[in-house]
Chain A
Amino acid sequence: MGPGVMEGVMHADPKIHTEPGTESSPRGPGCSLRHLACEQNLLSRPDGSASFMQGDTSVLAGVYGPAEVKVSKEIFNKATLEVILRPKIGLPGVAEKSRERLIRNTCEAVVLGVLHPRTSITVVLQVVSDAGSLLACCLNAACMALVDAGVPMQALFCGVTCALDSDGTLVLDPTVKQEKEARAVLTFALDSVDRKLLMSSTKGLYSDAELQQCLAAAQAASHHVFRFYRESLQRRYSKS
């Protein structure tokens, strides 16, 4: 199998395509994330909004819903979930469409759409600045905006990105530079109840063991993100 082929289906006998011996000295799952920051309810027009920052990566999210739905998109027994990802400059392209679908599938897994049939829930994500781990930041912003809008959910979710160096070193929440130098970049979405995998998007070469190692590291890091969610929501509700 040539280089550049990758895979991301979890728990489904991932094929190994790596040269053995590259896992020299991986950092433990305790590697830290960049600084997190979040502000909720900062926009007046949407029903829920949040801006999420991971280091210098920043995404602004707005949620509309449960709102009126076009007849063509109406689903009779659940809400229609739509995710729109807007790049910082220019028009959305194929990469944005692909990310939109990943985020939509993640949201669909946790949003209780059956409680609002024949309505639409729209998540609009605007990239403010991309300094690495953009997909993870989009997921986090989407989650916080959904919570702010009061959309019923069965769990929270978060996104964590891991990068694997050429020497097998694991870097959590990589910057653009680290992402470029990395042999593989893996993004996971995890839920808050069981820390189970909701979505994974991977790019590059890695072994089965490395995948499991990245997942374990992401799960460990998700505790930190969920603790941050709790703190930031408690701050929001402390005023009332």
Chain B
Amino acid sequence: MAPVMAEAASVAAESLGGGRARAARTVLDQVVLPGEELLLPEQEDADVPGGAGEKLLRLNAGARSRVRVVCGPGLRRCGDRLLVTKCGRLRYKEPGSGSGGGVYWVDSQQKRYVPVKGDHVIGIVTAKSGDIFKIDIGGSEPASLSYLAFEGATKRNRPNVQVGDLIYGQFVVANKDMEPEMVCIDSCGRANGMGVIGQDGLLFKVTLGLIRKLLAPDCEIIQEVGKLYPLEIVFGMNGRIWVKAKTIQQTLILANVLEACEHMTSDQRKQIFARLAES
């Protein structure tokens, strides 16, 4: 009488499209879920004056109606459909020049970092092997960093990097199929702030969403934090923040404030900063 278990697993077939899809314009800054389909407003449709209705974007339609739309993180293109793969708020950025298109992406609150070319990150040196360093960047595999990728480094003049040091660098190679590679110089060969992060200070981890929020050009948190104490601070796109103030106490306060900022409204933040400024 022993019951036997049986199973049948099948891959979800591609949806038949249409129907449930929502227009991307109407869900901007709203929460989207994986599997949802988005419709892009048809643009540059000059020859159809009454074409106000939304249709699926035809990526391979005639050259005149071609619109350059960039699918950012959390979105994927499947034929001429735009599908959501991550949960978060849908964001849109107008294109810098030209008309139509733009960038759509999903702003999610993730903790795990996936290397992206050009990102500035804080890594920890885990090994020195021959002429490369292995750097832990919190991704799925360690990044490599050549000892020549420092300002002023030559074959004779090696940079002073020890295992356990913190490195602020930039990705030059980062794709899903290859080992990520970091450098600590820009294209002109200048350090430009990158390199080994000095002694002392405190390194802590926050979500990737908070880092993006703090690094936004008009972020008021950073301006207010800067008014509290004189400080040195480094943000890594991989969710790591290194901070150093005059005393350990101030450093800890700054770290706690930054960590707590994520789930506070701007009013709550103002209160906290006002209270800290008094003490």
Contact = CB atoms under 8 A, between A and B. Distances in A.
Contacts of B262: 240
Contacts of A105: 7, 9
B52 interface: no
Interface in A154-193: 154-156, 191-193
A132 interface: no
B53 interface: no
Interface string B9-50: 111110110001000000000010111000000000000000
Given A118-B141, A201-B7, A240-B209, A156 B12 contact: no
B7 A199 contact: yes
Q: How large is the interface on B (under 10, 10 to 19, 20 to 34, 35 or more residues)?
A: 35 or more
B108 interface: yes
B8 A193 contact: no
Contacts of A155: 12, 34-35
Interface string B152-177: 00000000000000000000000011
Interface in A119-157: 119-120, 147-150, 152-156
Contacts of A117: 176-177
Given A9-B6, A109-B11, A149-B110, A234 B31 contact: yes
B112 to A, nearest CB: 4
B86 A233 contact: no
A114 B109 CA distance: 21
28 contacts: A8-B6, A9-B6, A47-B110, A64-B112, A102-B7, A102-B9, A105-B9, A106-B9, A109-B11, A117-B176, A120-B140, A147-B87, A148-B87, A149-B110, A149-B111, A149-B112, A150-B109, A152-B34, A154-B35, A155-B34, A156-B34, A194-B12, A194-B13, A201-B5, A201-B7, A230-B33, A236-B109, A237-B88
Interface of B: 1-13, 15-16, 20, 31, 33-35, 74, 76, 83, 85-89, 108-112, 114, 139-141, 176-177, 209, 213, 262-263
